Amino acid sequence: MAEAVIINDVGPRDGLQNQPRILAVAQRLALIRSLRDAGMQHIQVAAFVSPKAVPAMAGAAEIMAGLPADDAAYSVLVPNMKGYELALAAGARQVEMVVYGSDGMAQANVRMNRFEADAVAAAILDRAAADGLAVTITMSVAFECPFEGRVTPDRAMQSAARFLGAGAQEFIVADTIGAATPDRVRALAEALLAEHAAGQLGCHFHDTRALGLANVYAALDAGIRRFDASIGGLGGCPFAPGASGNVATEDVVMLLEQMGHATGINLAALMRASRLAATLTGNAPGGRARAWLDRQYPQPAETPHEI
Amino acid sequence: MAEAVIINDVGPRDGLQNQPRILAVAQRLALIRSLRDAGMQHIQVAAFVSPKAVPAMAGAAEIMAGLPADDAAYSVLVPNMKGYELALAAGARQVEMVVYGSDGMAQANVRMNRFEADAVAAAILDRAAADGLAVTITMSVAFECPFEGRVTPDRAMQSAARFLGAGAQEFIVADTIGAATPDRVRALAEALLAEHAAGQLGCHFHDTRALGLANVYAALDAGIRRFDASIGGLGGCPFAPGASGNVATEDVVMLLEQMGHATGINLAALMRASRLAATLTGNAPGGRARAWLDRQYPQPAETPHEI
């Protein structure tokens, strides 16, 4: 058996954030429970953002209050100190902050340049360390920016050194617009792994050009052992032209399991979560390996959760 | 610029062989011309098989007679000596024969065990050498057999040694049912490259589990520089349960070009060929990166060929 790999399902947050259909808190909790039922130990469950700006993420505190009382790693996105305070008050134990590989993306997302966004993240990281919360730093457009083009690896290298050095638990490089190629993924992963432990690193891929699984493999082969993925491939970014969904969790789990890496995730149960995601969002069932997975794990007669 | 990579489009043969709609010779020639218009230098154009057994491949000699008079490498499949004689008479300069990684697949395909199938290929290879024809040997189910499960790498290693030693121009390993994973692809590619030149080797992937591009990347990274692919992802195998289409040519070209490998292929023109394939077969347009490629290369108002 090859080394275990951690999958962090970002569907309930990153995946749902920009869906045309806004889900109720109870529906989002049902999706989270279905992921837990599949054995998922890492789930991004909420964002403490303005419900006016992002209506799909309203009710973050209710999400936190409704989470299963277990030891899974439930992370929440916080865009600023106000969001952090709310997350802390709601009982969050793991917060995620976004930094930027380009000024263009930082401006589009948070109306700052990337250094200003870094400073916000650094301030929250200090607070979180004092409060005993784990922090994940994700670098958006670590490979390519829709406004500025190719992002050089030094951006991620410098940011990883800064934030891991300051006590962040994890540093994730995100290919926000799905423009990375596996050779560039491998090169950046190898460079990061030369400086930091695998347990501190992760990758986040979008599947815009159908290269999501190739990029996961390239990172995995370089030694990365933690991946974001989104159930059913839910996702996309409204501020990044051309960004489509995240790489689908079921595709990544299938790849890893077939390569002998334990994930702790039950694929049959994961397909139930994927079908629930499709039912809730009204989207066609997602994932690239859908046809094959549906044959392997046919839809049961009953749905797993009352929704 | 990284090393050039050869793409062999198998759509006009492997891709069309099992389509529900049987195309006329003129339609198949139009598809071949559209691939040539995109700069494709290697095309599998016909199979000299019984038209009763494979009606979609009827008219192989007419296909040969109708090919553009240029220096592209047009290959034809020959299942036996009779097929070889017909191919030779029709002016073929490059023939492809299939050998088998398992007895089960050999029995299902040609009602022989794999050693008997080897002997047929060896006899034709001898004849072709005397006649001055180039020979490609493709090992079907080189990674996994739908009847016997996992195929160990020694099958491909032994077969490559035998047939390349006997003068075959190329030895291709085929993941006929799309069950290979990139780690196994890399391992076999590295083993083959330790014994043979890259110019003698190639890979043929099916995209059943959406791992086609990950497998292409794994083989490429190991040093493979020749890939079969099928325009629009056309393909599948009637004798191999669960086999779906080949990896799509446009997906592979996109991956290679974005990684800086020259293919000599014009993606905009290739998308016209892909749309022609969909029009002719009546299939939905294929390929995993379809949505992105369609945005990059929008459909023109006119079709490129009278069909």
Q: What is the pLDDT of residues B32-72, one digit of tens each?
A: 999 999 999 999 999 999 999 999 999 999 999 999 999 99
Averaged pLDDT score across all residues of chain B: 94
Closest-CA residue of chain A to B212: A214
Beta strands in B3-90, from DSSP E residues, in sequence order: 6-9, 42-47, 73-77
Q: Which residues of A touch B255 (CB under 8 A)?
A: 181, 211, 214
Give B287 to chain A, closest Cα distance, Å. Answer: 9
Contact (Cβ atoms closer than 8 angstroms) between residue A98 and residue A138: yes
Q: Where are the domains of chain B?
A: 6-296
Residue in A205, A203, A197, A198 with CA at minimum distance from that of residue A175:
A205
Give B86 to chain A, closest Cα distance, Å. Answer: 39
Instruction: Please give the Cα distance from B55 to B52 (Å, whole number).
Output: 6
Is the dihedral angle over the CA atoms B271, B276, B277, B279 positive or is it negative? positive
Q: What is the pLDDT of residues B20-29, one digit of tens each?
A: 899 999 999 9
**Cβ-proximal residues to A166 (8 Å cutoff; 6+ apart), any chain:** A122, A125, A126, A129
Q: What is the pLDDT of residues B258-282, one digit of tens each?
A: 999 999 999 999 999 999 999 999 9
What length is written for chain B?
307
Give B240 to chain A, closest Cα distance, Å. Answer: 14
Contact (Cβ atoms closer than 8 angstroms) between residue B253 and residue B6: no
Give A115 to chain B, closest Cα distance, Å. Answer: 30
Instruction: Please give the Cα distance from B81 to B175 (Å, whole number).
Output: 25
Q: What is the pTM of this model?
A: 0.94
Question: What pLDDT, on a 0 to 100 scale, did the predictor assign at position B184?
Answer: 98
Mutate one of B209, B216, B259, B274 to test the A interface: name it (highest A CB count within 10 A). B209
Residue matched to tokens 């022989």: B112
CB of B218 within 8 Å of a chain A CB? The answer is: yes
Closest-CA residue of chain B to A211: B213
Question: What pLDDT, on a 0 to 100 scale, did the predictor assign at position A239?
Answer: 54
**Cβ-proximal residues to B156 (8 Å cutoff; 6+ apart), any chain:** B101, B139, B142, B173, B188, B192
Angle at A223 between CA A221 and CA A229, to 5 degrees: 80
**Model confidence at B305: pLDDT above 70:** no
CA distances from B144 to A16, B103, B138, B153, B156 (A): 38, 12, 14, 10, 11
CB of B181 within 8 Å of a chain A CB? The answer is: yes
> Residue B240 — pLDDT band, cuts 50, 70, 90?
low
Judge: B291–A181 Cβ closer than 8 Å, yes or no: no
Instruction: Please give the Cα distance from A27 to B278 (Å, whole number).
Output: 39
* B145 a catalytic residue: no
**Cβ-proximal residues to B245 (8 Å cutoff; 6+ apart), any chain:** B15, B206, B207, B230, B233, B234, B235, B236, B286
CA distances from B258 to A54, A140, A150, B72 (A): 34, 20, 12, 24
CB of B242 within 8 Å of a chain A CB? The answer is: yes
Question: What pLDDT, on a 0 to 100 scale, did the predictor assign at position B302?
Answer: 58
CA distances from A268 to A12, A15, A260, A303, B226 (A): 19, 21, 17, 13, 37
> Residue B99 — pLDDT band, cuts 50, 70, 90?
very high
Closest-CA residue of chain A to B221: A183
H helices present in B132-168, as ranges: 153-165
Instruction: Please give the Cα distance from A152 to A136 (Å, whole number).
Output: 21
Q: What is the pLDDT of residues B118-164, one digit of tens each?
A: 999 999 999 999 999 999 999 999 999 999 999 999 999 999 999 99
**Model confidence at B242: pLDDT above 80:** no
Q: Which residues of chain A have pLDDT under 70?
A: 1, 237-243, 301-307
Q: Which residues of A touch B183 (CB under 8 A)?
A: 217, 221, 259-260
Beta strands in chain B, from DSSP E residues, in sequence order: 6-9, 42-47, 73-77, 94-100, 134-140, 144-145, 149-150, 170-175, 201-205, 226-229
Judge: A208–B254 Cβ closer than 8 Å, yes or no: no
Q: Which residues of B touch A254 (CB under 8 A)?
A: 209
Question: What pLDDT, on a 0 to 100 scale, did the predictor assign at position B158?
Answer: 98
3-class DSSP state of B168: coil
Is the dihedral angle over the CA atoms A125, A127, A130, A134 positive or is it negative? negative
Judge: A289–B259 Cβ closer than 8 Å, yes or no: no
Of residues A185, A237, A269, A293, which has the active-site annotation? A237
AA identity, residue B84: Y
Q: Which residues of B touch A242 (CB under 8 A)?
A: 292, 295
> Residue B285 — pLDDT band, cuts 50, 70, 90?
confident
**Model confidence at B243: pLDDT above 80:** no
Mutate one of A211, A254, A296 to test the B interface: name it (highest B CB count within 10 A). A211
What length is written for chain A?
307
Q: Look up residue A139 and give its DSSP letter.
A: E
With a CB-CB cutoff of 8 Å, which residues 271-300 of chain A face chain B? Answer: 287-289, 291-292, 295
CA distances from A281 to A299, B38, B151 (A): 18, 40, 41
Tell me the average pLDDT across B243-248: 82
Closest-CA residue of chain A to B207: A289
Of A183, A186, A292, the CB nearest to B209: A292
CB of A209 within 8 Å of a chain B CB? The answer is: yes
Domain A6-296 architecture:
Alpha-Beta Barrel (3.20)
**Model confidence at B306: pLDDT above 90:** no
**Model confidence at B300: pLDDT above 90:** no
Q: What is the 3-state secondary structure (H, E, C) of A271-287?
A: HHHHHHHHHHHCCCCCC
Question: What pLDDT, on a 0 to 100 scale, did the predictor assign at position A6?
Answer: 98
Judge: A209–B289 Cβ closer than 8 Å, yes or no: yes
Instruction: Find how far residue B151's CA is from the centre of its chain.
Output: 20
Closest-CA residue of chain A to B261: A183
Size of interface A-B (CB pairs under 8 A): 77
Is the dihedral angle over the CA atoms A88, A91, A93, A96 positive or is it negative? negative
Instruction: Please give the Cα distance from A166 to A195 (Å, whole number).
Output: 15
Beta strands in A42-160, from DSSP E residues, in sequence order: 42-47, 73-77, 94-100, 134-140, 144-145, 149-150
Question: What pLDDT, on a 0 to 100 scale, did the predictor assign at position B183?
Answer: 98
